[in-house]
Amino acid sequence: MKTIRLTTAQALVKFLVAQRILINGREEKLFPGVMAIFGHGNVTSLGVALDENRKDIKTYRGQNEQGMALAAVGFTKAKRRQQIMVASSSIGPGALNMVTAAGVAYVDRLPVLFLAGDTFVHRIPDPVLQQSENFSDPSMTVNDAFKPVVRYWDRIIAPEQLLHSLPHAVSTMLDPATCGPAFIGLPQDVQAESFDFPEVFFEKVVHTIVRPRADATELRNAVETLKSAKRPLIIAGGGVHYSLAEKELAEFATKHNIPVVETVAGKASLLASHNLNAGPVGVTGCESANNLAAQADVVLALGTRLQDFTTGSWTIFRNEQTKFIGVNTVRFDAIKHRSLPVVADVCVTLDEMTASLANWRGGDAWSKIAQQEIVGYHKYIDGVAKKDSSRLATYAQVVGVADRAAQPGDYALTAAGGFPGELNNGWRAKSLDSFDCEYGFSCMGYELSGAWGAKMAMPNREVISFVGDGSYMMMNSDIYSSVLYGHKLIVIVCDNGGYAVINRLQVNQGGVPFNNQIVDCDVQNLVYVDFVKHAESMGAIAETVNSIDDLETAFARARKSDRTHVIVIKISSSDWTEGGSFWEVGVPTTSHRKEVLKAGDEMREGKKQQRTGW
């Protein structure tokens, strides 16, 4: 067997370059780039190997390890899991900074390859710079912290281990049933060691993503259950996007006359104009979707893990007899809440189900109820998004500007805070796959880093980042990244003076405003940030607007800008889009405040609506 002598780091990079994937019949790079912040644990070996291969795999310099890894998440989300970014750091704080981003990828079932430096295997210099010593286990390092939030974890302690580890890491990330992040720890000494690797290990491999098909019995049971429905309902989750099943969903819903509601991850699976799209469901959803959920007798759950924000902490499905059909590549998700499982790819399953259903259709009376609800939803959103110059702007009005001005291909992106509920309702998709709200892990800071990654993935689409002042302060340095690399974003910063949505939760559950809005903190100097100057200092174009009318004209200017354009607007901290559902949170059962006790009573009353039939 022919061999080639390479260091561990060189072999790793050479292997990544050899991995390809078929996308729409075209052969593309599986790993198009590496996001890296170099330190002593990865610069002298991995950095050298990346430099040697810079023509075949691009290296991006991050500003913060968490930010660059979140950008990798945003990239693969925009690519719908068909390409994978690599995130690399040195050992110690750099590695630990990436753990939060690994948690996002893990919860959202998105593939990212994490490469972190590690301490010396031979341990002679111990303790080295940035090493955390575990008194009872000398083999443990900070990199063990990745274990709970990755699907595959390995530490390479000999070069030849790459022959086993790398193919398994790639397989794990590409398999729809195990899809998620993978971690490879790279001790400094092992990175630099050489080995005679078989040349065949570096031959080009062209991957395809498998589409598992349903077990015949599971499919038959699901079809028979759906045929028995009087009031069927489809929940479109993120799996619809990852299965590339938007066309099939529209055809299935239309042919079988079944209303569709969307989760946060599944939003833009159907066009908002589709006559069976009843809008977003759950806590950040709308009355139309939640009213239909309360009446449905059979729910076809497509590619969703049925998170509490989707189910209203299991209160919106009021009928204890409602049956669920869980179509998912992951059996863990497919069987939730006594669902009839169909462990399979969404796209092929819809085709197979429609063949078995033949000409069966849901009742016209039910679809007419859905259409009446849909009319009410759009009327409400039009109302709350309407311009009103007599008061401080609201989230809904800000979203309304982008919604009205949206062009095909525009991609709205946000994360935690007030925007998930507002965008989930107010962004009415004019094009498919036009929405990313990181609400699985609800990670503040994703709004800007994730947007950078999304634009990297979609250079010809307008990426619009909606970010609150709180998230902006947590992580903003990738505005600079987007300027450096020419990945132009439109960023709308809504300044409501702090963490307003949590302040809302605090007050609604009987508390007093405390430590959320800046004005309610025990600070010595009440100073507010000049976001425009800050963004300008990182090379962005930036401006403040004082009204919704001004925002409209600024948004048009931003669309024409040649680099990242930041628009800052002060908004109300107390006006919200309503229409969601009950959400269970912990409320004290003993308190000196009667408001807290009342909130506790209301919480316990709401819990009586929870679906408990397991």
- Evaluate whether 453 touches 436 at the Cβ level (below 8 Å): no
Mean pLDDT lowest among 163-172, 237-246, 600-609: 600-609
Average pLDDT on 480-507 reads 97
Rounded Cα distance between 481 and 595, Å, is 46
Distance (Å, rounded) from C-alpha 351 to C-alpha 248? 7
CA 380, 552, 430, 285 torsion-angle sign:
negative
- Provide the 10 A C-beta neighbour count for residue 575: 18
Percent of the chain clearing pLDDT 70 (strictly above): 100
pLDDT score of 175 more than 60: yes
Segment 273-292 mean pLDDT: 97
**Buried-exposed string 264-288: b where 16+ CB fall within 10 A, e elsewhere:** bbbbbbbebebebbbbbbbbbbbbb
The answer to whether residues 540 and 534 touch, using CB atoms and an 8 Å cutoff, is: no
> What single-letter amino acid sits at 201?
F
Q: Mention every residue, 6+ apart, whose C-beta is less than 8 A from residue 14.
A: 6, 49, 53, 202
Which pLDDT band, with edges at 50, 70 and 90, does 611 fall under?
Answer: confident
Across 77-81, average pLDDT: 98
User: Which residues contact residue 489 at a Cβ distance below 8 angstroms, ignoring those fewer than 6 apart?
Assistant: 448, 451, 452, 455, 463, 464, 465, 479, 482, 564, 565
Tell me the one-letter amino acid at 144. D
C-alpha separations of 192 from 116, 499, 565 in Å? 14, 47, 43
Dig out the tokens for 129 from the structure. 């710079």
Q: Could you give the CA distance from residue 64 to residue 51 in angstroms, rounded to a whole number?
A: 21
pLDDT above 70: residue 5: yes
Cα 461 off chain centre by: 18
- Neighbour tally for 85: CB within 10 Å: 26
Q: In what order do the strands lie in the sheet with 298-302?
A: 277-280, 260-262, 232-236, 298-302, 323-328, 340-343
Query: Residue 381's pLDDT is what?
Result: 97
Q: Quick one: pLDDT band at residue 390, thresholds 50, 70, 90?
A: confident
CA–CA gap between residue 192 and residue 248 (Å, rounded): 50
> Residues 151-158: what's their mean pLDDT?
98
Span 292-304, pLDDT tens digits: 999 999 999 999 9
Read off the tokens for 72.
């990798």
pLDDT score for 65:
98
> 612: pLDDT confidence band, cut at 50, 70 and 90?
confident
| The pLDDT value given to residue 579 | 87
What residue ranges define each of the domains in the chain, with the CATH number in brackets? 3-207 (3.40.50.970), 216-365 (3.40.50.1220), 385-570 (3.40.50.970)
Mean of all residue pLDDT scores within the chain = 96
Instruction: Tell me the per-residue pLDDT of 429-449, one tens digit each, with 9 for 90 and over.
Output: 999 999 999 999 999 999 999
Alpha-carbon span 396 to 248, nearest angstrom: 31
Nearest to 8, CA basis, from 181, 203, 204, 188: 188
pLDDT at 188 over 80: yes
Give pLDDT tens digits for 365-381: 999 999 999 999 999 99
User: Is pLDDT at 242 greater than 90 in this prediction?
Assistant: yes
pLDDT at 389 over 90: no
Q: Are 419 and 500 in contact (CB under 8 A)?
A: no
pLDDT of 138 higher than 90 = yes
Tokens of 249: 């969903």
Joined together, the tokens standing for residue 117 give: 């430096």
Please measure the distance between the N-terminal and C-terminal CA atoms of the chain and give it in whole angstroms: 57
**Segment 516-526 mean pLDDT:** 95
pLDDT of residue 411: 98
Rounded CA gap, 93 and 388, in Å? 48
25: left (phi over 0), alpha (psi -120 to 50) or beta: left
Question: Which residues on neighbouring strands pair with residue 468, listed in sequence order?
Answer: 494
d(CA 325, CA 328): 10
pLDDT above 60 for 514? yes
| 127 upstream amide cis, omega within 30 of 0 | yes
pLDDT for the residue numbered 613: 58
Structure tokens at 155: 């530490």
Question: With 70 as the cut, is the pLDDT of residue 614 above it?
Answer: no
Q: What is the pLDDT of residue 217?
A: 98
pLDDT value of position 153: 98
Q: pLDDT at residue 162 above 80?
A: yes
pTM above 0.95, yes or no: yes
